[in-house]
């Protein structure tokens, strides 16, 4: 199945780690050998294999072997805590667990799952949701993304945690299906970004995927030797809303424009910018978007998830259109994201967009990060606007607040400012607004 797609790149370099360098032929041989280990297990079909592996060559081999054999897999990488892993195992009840040097048996319980990859939504802070995708959907979505962006052979720097959807689909499967060479960094995924440009230079990186928070960090490091960016052809950015000012600042600093994408664990990659135009860009072939009355994005995609899974029960996804929870619009065939539906603040009967306020505040000199969160008043059902800020210097606070009042209409004025040295984020760099409010609301 998957090996047929890789066959045409047989003689090309494939993966580089700290101590190994493989061609596609060598990778395919490792996948073949690992598949034979699984084939020796009794009743391996219709079983779920948990992949408890760190970001490594071994994880890539395990992914590809599961797809080749059309068996279910559940990634449980190093970026999950022990408690999180235990919780995800309780939800999905995998039959085997693949570790670095073993395949351990867990349970006999049969499952009707076959030919699925199981990924969890990033919101594991509350009730994680197991999302099921057919192997062929994952492959076809990656191919469609590569066609849209004309991605061909090149050197690709792997940054995202490989157990998450973005780390598997965006920055493992997409480059493999393009025939690229993947450089798996041990330092970059831990957000030790001081070495980012040295990786770009040392490995002559052509492509990479980054998060908005990484872009923000690199912009703050702009004093380094900017001439180092003489290899990068494209930087794709996903996982969270992305401020236009950060794109412009990055282009000014490093002479390359970050290409914003849009997607979700449920619908995979939906769109991506292919140039400097505003927004999340062109829709992939096979994707359609309608807008509800409230401008929520309703997505129809041939790559949509097949269903959800819990307590050994599969609930099929029968809906044609997926309610994304995102507010947006289509402008000249480009998708423009405006906000998250659940984050819309209702103040004095008006719908207030946090992203609109954040975009206004973001370009104020001295503001390093900002997050706007609505705090409900249970008595009035009205909401206050809480503004979380990370700024350069304490003495700038009053000046920054005055500029915020000048830039915003009165209805958008924050009711409360909270200054932080560090924002609460998940493991792929997305700001966790609910946790910010829970942890810091009592601060002055």
Mark whether 208 and 285 lie in a shared domain.
Answer: yes
Mark whether 96 and 212 lie in a shared domain.
Answer: yes
Mark whether 321 and 358 lie in a shared domain.
Answer: no
Mark whether 433 and 315 lie in a shared domain.
Answer: no
Query: Where is the domain boundary, 291, 312, 340?
Result: 340
Residues in contact with 81: Cβ distance below 8 Å, sequence separation at least 6, in sequence order = none
Residues forming beta bridges with residue 307, ordered by sequence position: 132, 316
- Please report which confidence band the pLDDT of residue 135 belongs to, taking 50, 70 and 90 as the band edges: very high
Residue 218, token pair as written in the block: 């690199």
Residue ranges making up the domain that contains 423: 344-440
Report how far Cα 103 is from the mean position of its chain's Cα atoms. Answer: 28
* Predicted TM-score (pTM) of this structure: 0.84
Mark whether 430 and 325 lie in a shared domain.
Answer: no
- Mean pLDDT of the residues in the chain: 86
Please give the share of the chain, as a percent, with pLDDT higher than 90: 44
When comparing pLDDT for 228 and 357, which is higher?
A: 357
Q: How many CB atoms lie within 10 A of CB 43?
A: 9
Task: Return the exposure string of 45-65: e unless at least 16 CB atoms fall within 10 Å of the residue's CB, then b.
Answer: eebbbbbbbbbbbbbbbbbbb
pLDDT surpassing 70 at residue 177: yes
3-class secondary structure, 350: strand
Query: Where is the domain boundary, 281, 316, 340?
Result: 340
Query: Where is the domain boundary, 286, 320, 340?
Result: 340
Query: Cα–Cα distance between 304 and 321 in angstroms, integer?
Result: 9
Q: What is the CA radius of gyration of the chain?
A: 22
Mark whether 12 and 111 lie in a shared domain.
Answer: yes
By the 8 A CB rule, do 102 and 268 touch?
Answer: no
Question: Per DSSP, which regions of 230-333 are E strands?
Answer: 234-237, 259-264, 268-272, 282-283, 287-291, 296-301, 307-310, 313-316, 322-331
Most confident of 74-83, 118-127, 280-289, 338-347: 280-289
Mark whether 81 and 123 lie in a shared domain.
Answer: yes
pLDDT in tens, 272-331: 999 887 788 899 999 999 999 888 999 999 999 999 987 667 889 999 999 998 889 998
Mark whether 242 and 378 lie in a shared domain.
Answer: no
Mark whether 320 and 410 lie in a shared domain.
Answer: no
Task: Count CA atoms closer than 13 A to 304's CA, side-chain side.
Answer: 21
Number of domains in the chain: 2
> Rounded mean pLDDT of 71-86?
86
> Domain holding 33: CATH number?
3.40.50.12780
| pLDDT attached to residue 398 | 86
Query: Cα–Cα distance between 413 and 385 in angstroms, integer?
Result: 7
> In Å, how far are 104, 108, 419 from 113, measured between CA atoms?
19, 14, 48
Most confident of 57-66, 107-116, 366-375, 380-389: 57-66
Element (H, E) at 57: helix 57-69
Mark whether 289 and 418 lie in a shared domain.
Answer: no
pLDDT surpassing 60 at residue 379: no
3-class secondary structure, 99: strand
- Please report which confidence band the pLDDT of residue 84 belongs to, taking 50, 70 and 90 as the band edges: confident
> Domain holding 398: CATH number?
3.30.300.30
| pLDDT attached to residue 124 | 37
Mark whether 161 and 236 lie in a shared domain.
Answer: yes
pLDDT surpassing 50 at residue 125: no
- Please report which confidence band the pLDDT of residue 444 belongs to, taking 50, 70 and 90 as the band edges: low
Mark whether 283 and 354 lie in a shared domain.
Answer: no
């Amino acid at each position: 199945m998957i090996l047929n797609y890789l066959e045409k790149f047989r003689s090309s370099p494939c993966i580089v780690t700290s101590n190994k360098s493989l061609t596609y032929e060598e990778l395919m041989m490792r996948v073949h050998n690992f598949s034979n280990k699984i084939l020796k297990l009794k009743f391996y079909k219709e079983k779920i294999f948990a992949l408890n592996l760190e970001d490594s060559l071994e994880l890539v081999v395990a992914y590809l072997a599961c797809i080749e054999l059309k068996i279910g897999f559940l990634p449980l990488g190093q970026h999950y805590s022990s408690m999180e892993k235990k919780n995800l195992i309780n939800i999905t009840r995998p039959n085997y667990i693949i570790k670095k040097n073993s395949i351990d048996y867990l349970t006999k319980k049969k499952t009707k799952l076959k030919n699925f990859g199981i990924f969890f939504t990033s919101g594991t802070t509350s009730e994680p949701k197991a999302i099921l995708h057919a192997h062929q959907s994952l492959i076809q979505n990656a191919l469609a993304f590569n066609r849209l962006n004309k991605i061909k052979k090149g050197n690709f720097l792997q940054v995202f945690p490989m157990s998450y959807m973005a780390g598997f689909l965006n920055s493992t499967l997409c480059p493999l299906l393009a025939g690229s060479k993947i450089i798996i960094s041990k330092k970059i995924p831990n957000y030790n970004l001081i070495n980012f440009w040295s990786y770009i230079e040392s490995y002559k990186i052509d492509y990479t995927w980054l998060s908005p928070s990484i872009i923000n960090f690199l912009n703050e490091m702009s004093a380094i030797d900017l001439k180092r960016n003489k290899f990068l052809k494209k930087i794709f950015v996903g996982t969270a809303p992305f401020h236009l000012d950060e794109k412009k600042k990055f282009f000014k600093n490093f002479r390359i424009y970050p290409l914003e994408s849009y997607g979700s664990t449920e619908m995979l990659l939906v769109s991506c910018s292919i140039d400097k135009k505003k927004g999340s860009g062109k829709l992939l072939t096979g994707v359609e978007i309608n807008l509800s009355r409230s401008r929520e994005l309703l997505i129809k995609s041939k790559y949509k998830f097949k269903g959800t899974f819990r307590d050994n029960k599969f609930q099929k996804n029968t809906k044609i259109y997926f309610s994304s929870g995102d507010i947006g619009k289509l402008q000249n065939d480009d998708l423009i994201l405006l906000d998250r539906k659940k984050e819309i603040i209702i103040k004095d009967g008006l719908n207030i967009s946090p992203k609109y306020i954040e975009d206004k505040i973001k370009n104020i000199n001295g503001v390093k990060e900002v997050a706007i969160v609505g705090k409900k008043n249970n008595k009035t059902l009205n909401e206050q606007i809480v503004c979380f800020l990370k700024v350069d210097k304490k003495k700038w606070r009053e000046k920054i607040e005055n500029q915020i009042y000048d830039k915003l209409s009165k209805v958008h004025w924050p009711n409360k400012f909270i200054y932080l040295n560090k924002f609460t984020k998940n493991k792929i760099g997305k700001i966790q607004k609910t946790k910010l409010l829970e942890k810091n609301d009592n601060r002055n």
